[in-house]
Structure 1
């Protein structure tokens, strides 16, 4: 198990070095959630999987990643506030490494399930060897990164580490991996070698007690300044005696470090403490020889484990070694002499009255006493909280007054409460983050629902609490469409089939509204209404809606009728004119259009023919001079309007089928321009081309699904562009080199289907070259438009 602190460090490394996107890719491939918490532990498999995936994704070998991770781990610990603790481990790199195990022991107070590695430093002559023991395999490069970072940051030195051996020592040390490094340390900046100081001796007899000559001179000078006389006062004795007395005094001062920074300890010849007092003041200690036979022990250990009072009892008879994970033998103890040792009393050796309570654990240091060839284990009970003290039926009074275990228990009791609060805070923070993400997703769904009812600009104003006034728009373009023989289809199908049919078709149509940036006003049954030029007025509203109509005809060809299995056919009608638009209602607000333009557009659809885009004279004027290919239909009688001269939009000379459908551009042959051949005798190839144009669904396209990649079509007045860029319509030449627009040199002729019924499919006729101005209709003069808007009561509210 590893704590979330390690995984958070790995995440920070990838994000800082390679970016947030790289981390997301690694996390998704590893199938690991991004919700690590510092005090929560996770399976080692997750961490190792993240490292392996990072190596593959970043194309870096594992040893390099682990070494980089080791260096960053030290930096991450410093950032997390552990720098002061790390700096106090040792004055140099050797002491730092030797005290790492003690640091890990302390960290178990906060991370109780931490399984930390163990380190042992060995010095042979001038060579330094680092022994690394771990339950985890393959992390040796990480140790190199950590040691290098520590040496560089704390001790201003460069370290070179080489792996000498790697083996498994499950039987001897219980650790799965044992790696030996050779360590070479070089101080950065280079310091010149210092000459050895000069020493003086009192006499040849006491020559071993040498002191530095500079210290002597310094002391003599200070004594002269303080006394104002020579440091060798005369008391009626011979100069030789006076000099010897002053020299003894001087040597004592220098040795004790009173006036200098040099410290020289003084040891007594005899130990001035009796064994009884020693066992009382150190109630937890054990002295044993090289055969592990106990020679002496503290009074509290004897009370808790009374069996050790027996003569010739060995340590391994009553205790087992918990840390470091090595066999309890004298040789191994000497090898790990600088480590912290934890011994636990064997349950079978505890008194019967102890019952099922946790056994006694001792934590301390092993000290070798060469004069008596014995080892002393200076220890204290391993207790970290008042709960553990109560579980062992122990009291604070049993711990010596000078033992810091007393303070540790009381301070850690408060720290445990703080850690629990920090853990809860971190969990609440993670819950808040997840709730925030869920809220954002719900907000997106709410926005989608709101934008389906109201235009984005209007919805944003209402959300901000602003009032939306109804507005007049001088010129917009409205499109209506419906399904041919929809009533008959409904009579012959189940309701669920009708719902599926409409859903499939409307999904395709909704996609086209985004491609051409028009607003879907309403769908009622099989009727679909679209408007261009509001709520944000644009000059290209007629072009957008006309392209929308062409795309709808193509999209409808991919929807099969549930009755015949053939592609359905739709009628499309378009009209351009003024409207009044505004929000109606409060409980269920709708964005509605009012005006005769809505009625006329509906009439264009009802008087249209299947598979055609039927437009009014006003829309023709708006499209004239553009790249659209328009056919004359002729004069027809429109219900409620009288005779009107109408037209068909059959193609766009500068927009390919891919552009109209919002698909990524394919090859030229597959995405040819939607342009019929000029008016002349038709050959076999031309008839085939017209047949393909007549039936857009003749060629199956796989990438026109509603959820496929979408490319927004660009117009000259486009405000926002998303996806891949398409060529804006209205360029000088079409894709086949034909000049844009229509030929104004010929007069139009009446269409053969001008008197045909709307439900009949007319014969495909050739495109005609239209004049600059359409044939006059019987519509009212333009200067009476405002009057019509105020007097007309015929409006369609959708």
Structure 2
């Protein structure tokens, strides 16, 4: 599937639902590209992934088939981007003319899209009220996509007010490896009415009779066959083309229908007189050896393009002047020379011009592919940086508040209360580097920054394993909360208690080379209770927490002793009531600055965790 098809889909998704929804659909679909190169071939599964993901991500109640039909309509609308709408406007006067020439249109695009595997369209029946159309493709499940295209073509280019599409049958043709869908197209078929009413001009002028020899000399790749499909005569270029003569043999033994695909029969040939037919020889062709002046078989097949025309009651002509060739490479590959092509056909000019412009076209496409790849790389880097930026902001501000802040207007952002919330019960923890001023004295500024960064990085890594939110770290102080902004019931006390023991164990065991003795001394304070949390400031905004619980946690740290974890009675009561694995020792009633006398506890250990702090200030 060429990128142009995917471009029409993605352009619709971006315009209709926005960039965020579009990227969400791509991520859900597992598609690594955000931009598709027009002339690059992509897996067919991308389309299926896009429609399935759109039906899930967008929550519109539409099925994948609904989106596939929409994409079919959008493809027709998107054709104007590359000027393909111009040819659609001049294919024929009526919708039936476009349908009958659909295969020819696809065939003409082979120069721009050489790797295109296009479907086959075949009109099976026609009346004044519509058409029965067979659609055959190697791709399964694309009937809604074609239905959308047909409806949009009828609306946009032929202004048909009433146009209905009904799927009659859908079958798998195992012999061909294709899938066949039969449609009934109901509309006012004006073109058909005109074709049978005799409104077209009748030419009554007398013309001189043309002999068979003259006819076949002009159209040397044509052949005549009867109602039994036996080849009666053929053009001179067909002599010696194959190992055995083809006169007197069945058409189906010599040729197969390539586009559209159908079983070769006399009735079908008569029915398809207004359709461009591509045939391909079944037996291999013979090529001329210029050195030995002999012919030998080549594993190549002769491609012909032409049309059927009934010559008499029981004979049909296949009129073709030349093989189907794109450039000189095709000409050489089947052992032909320019002299083998009739001068009037234009194929010789096309092959020669194709050769002259091949490099120019290739370079143009290559530049386009390079630019597209460069753009895709830039878009990918942009997405990566955006992800990193969101991750950085997410480490500073809770995600749900960040989304609220990003979506707010300036007036709402100026209101602090828009981002403040009361949390009934959380647990706050402060960690402080003990005697920090004296620790800093012998250190250079560089060594000090490295030491503090290492210490806080260790704590950040440990925090990742628990349901906690890092509020801030300032100088020698590190602040963490649990139960905010995401509520977690009574679990907040256990999360903070577990993290406190992990921090105490890890920091006391870590060697800090810049510090005398290689060890840092910390103390920890914990308190539980209500707080108010919100975003403070417009420039460099931060998520902060306020309240008596914060002050009390800070006092628990400042009144503690090195290597110990001191907590309030409320934290102890929560752990004692809900988490029996934690063991605490009563320190007693302490006079706490600004609080008066308070009963406080040491957090000593946790069952299953190989660290224990004693109540006398030592650690093990």
TM-score normalised according to structure 1 size: 0.51
The root-mean-square deviation of aligned C-alpha atoms, in Å, is 5.0
Superposed displacement of residue 65, structure 1: 1.7
Residues 305 and 323, structure 2, Cα contact 8 Å, conserved in 1? yes
Superposed displacement of residue 376, structure 1: 3.2
Residues 157 and 186, structure 1, Cα contact 8 Å, conserved in 2? no
Residues 158 and 186, structure 1, Cα contact 8 Å, conserved in 2? no
Superposed displacement of residue 82, structure 1: 0.8
Distance 1:423 1:767, change over 3 A: same
Superposed displacement of residue 11, structure 1: 1.1
1:28 aligns with 2:27: yes
Superposed displacement of residue 442, structure 1: 9.1
Structure 2 gap segments, 5+ residues each: 191-197, 288-293, 394-429, 440-451, 480-494, 510-519, 537-541, 554-565, 580-586, 597-620
**1:764 aligned residue:** 590
**1:325 aligned residue:** 261
- After TM superposition, the structure 1 = structure 2 runs for residues 303-342 of structure 1, keeping only pairs within 5 Å, are 303-305=240-242, 307-308=244-245, 310=247, 312-342=248-278
Distance 2:578 2:372 in 1: 48
Q: 1:560 aligns with which of 501, 524, 537?
A: 501
Distance 2:71 2:387 in 1: 41
1:291 aligns with 2:228: yes
Q: How many residues align?
A: 478
**1:48 aligned residue:** 48
Residues 40 and 369, structure 2, Cα contact 8 Å, conserved in 1? no
* Helix, strand or coil at the partner of 1:410: helix
Distance 2:20 2:533 in 1: 35
1:412 aligns with 2:365: no
Residues 341 and 364, structure 1, Cα contact 8 Å, conserved in 2? yes
Runs ≥4 residues deviating over 6 A: 171-174, 441-448, 484-487, 498-501, 507-510, 554-557, 650-654, 657-660, 662-665, 693-701
Q: 1:428 aligns with which of 370, 373, 376?
A: 370
**2:9 aligned residue:** 10
1:387 aligns with 2:329: yes
- After TM superposition, the structure 1 = structure 2 runs for residues 536-551 of structure 1, keeping only pairs within 5 Å, are none
Residues 652 and 675, structure 1, Cα contact 8 Å, conserved in 2? no
* Helix, strand or coil at the partner of 1:69: helix
Distance 1:179 1:672, change over 3 A: farther
Distance 1:426 1:699 in 2: 68
Distance 1:346 1:690, change over 3 A: closer
Residues 151 and 157, structure 1, Cα contact 8 Å, conserved in 2? yes
Distance 1:698 1:659 in 2: 33
* Helix, strand or coil at the partner of 2:20: helix
Distance 1:528 1:767 in 2: 19
**1:179 aligned residue:** 182
Distance 1:316 1:529 in 2: 85
1:150 aligns with 2:104: no
**The structure with more radius of gyration:** 1
Q: 2:307 aligns with which of 346, 355, 365?
A: 365
Superposed displacement of residue 77, structure 1: 1.1
Residues 676 and 693, structure 1, Cα contact 8 Å, conserved in 2? no
Superposed displacement of residue 300, structure 1: 1.3
1:116 aligns with 2:118: yes
1:658-710 deviation digits (Å, cap 9, x = unpaired): 999x8899xx9xx9844669xxxxxxxxxx99434799999999xxxxxxxxx
Superposed displacement of residue 119, structure 1: 1.9
Superposed displacement of residue 98, structure 1: 0.9
- After TM superposition, the structure 1 = structure 2 runs for residues 708-747 of structure 1, keeping only pairs within 5 Å, are none
**2:87 aligned residue:** 85
Superposed displacement of residue 432, structure 1: 2.0
Q: 1:374 aligns with which of 316, 328, 348?
A: 316
Superposed displacement of residue 508, structure 1: 8.5
1:740-787 deviation digits (Å, cap 9, x = unpaired): xxxxxxxxxxxxxxxxxxxxx9972054599xxxxxxxxxxxxxxxxx
Superposed displacement of residue 127, structure 1: 2.8
1:691 aligns with 2:591: no
Distance 1:165 1:696 in 2: 69
- After TM superposition, the structure 1 = structure 2 runs for residues 250-649 of structure 1, keeping only pairs within 5 Å, are 264-268=202-206, 271=209, 273-305=210-242, 307-308=244-245, 310=247, 312-347=248-283, 350=286, 353-370=295-312, 373-413=315-355, 416-436=358-378, 481-483=432-434, 503-505=457-459, 515=471, 558-560=499-501, 610=523
Residues 165 and 185, structure 2, Cα contact 8 Å, conserved in 1? yes
Distance 1:186 1:61, change over 3 A: farther
**2:422 aligned residue:** none
Distance 1:73 1:562, change over 3 A: closer
Distance 1:97 1:61 in 2: 28
Distance 2:311 2:356 in 1: 39
Distance 1:275 1:699 in 2: 107
Q: 1:68 aligns with which of 63, 67, 70?
A: 70
- After TM superposition, the structure 1 = structure 2 runs for residues 189-268 of structure 1, keeping only pairs within 5 Å, are 264-268=202-206
Superposed displacement of residue 426, structure 1: 3.5
Superposed displacement of residue 38, structure 1: 1.9
1:137 aligns with 2:91: no
1:162-192 deviation digits (Å, cap 9, x = unpaired): 31511326278764222121321389xxxxx
**2:166 aligned residue:** 163
Residues 119 and 130, structure 1, Cα contact 8 Å, conserved in 2? no
Distance 2:89 2:380 in 1: 43
TM-score normalised according to structure 2 size: 0.64
Distance 2:26 2:462 in 1: 35
1:393-447 deviation digits (Å, cap 9, x = unpaired): 2121221111021232234335544543343224322432354357668989999
* Helix, strand or coil at the partner of 1:115: coil
Distance 1:503 1:169, change over 3 A: closer
Superposed displacement of residue 42, structure 1: 2.3
Residues 221 and 322, structure 2, Cα contact 8 Å, conserved in 1? yes
Residues 290 and 375, structure 1, Cα contact 8 Å, conserved in 2? no
Residues 561 and 568, structure 1, Cα contact 8 Å, conserved in 2? no
Residues 166 and 179, structure 1, Cα contact 8 Å, conserved in 2? yes
Residues 100 and 119, structure 1, Cα contact 8 Å, conserved in 2? yes
Distance 1:263 1:657 in 2: 86
Distance 1:504 1:559, change over 3 A: farther
1:127-178 deviation digits (Å, cap 9, x = unpaired): 3223132223332222232222222222222232231511326278764222
1:92-128 deviation digits (Å, cap 9, x = unpaired): 1111111111001111222223222222335544232
Structure 1 gap segments, 5+ residues each: 188-209, 212-261, 452-478, 488-497, 522-526, 531-553, 570-605, 613-649, 678-687, 702-760, 771-798
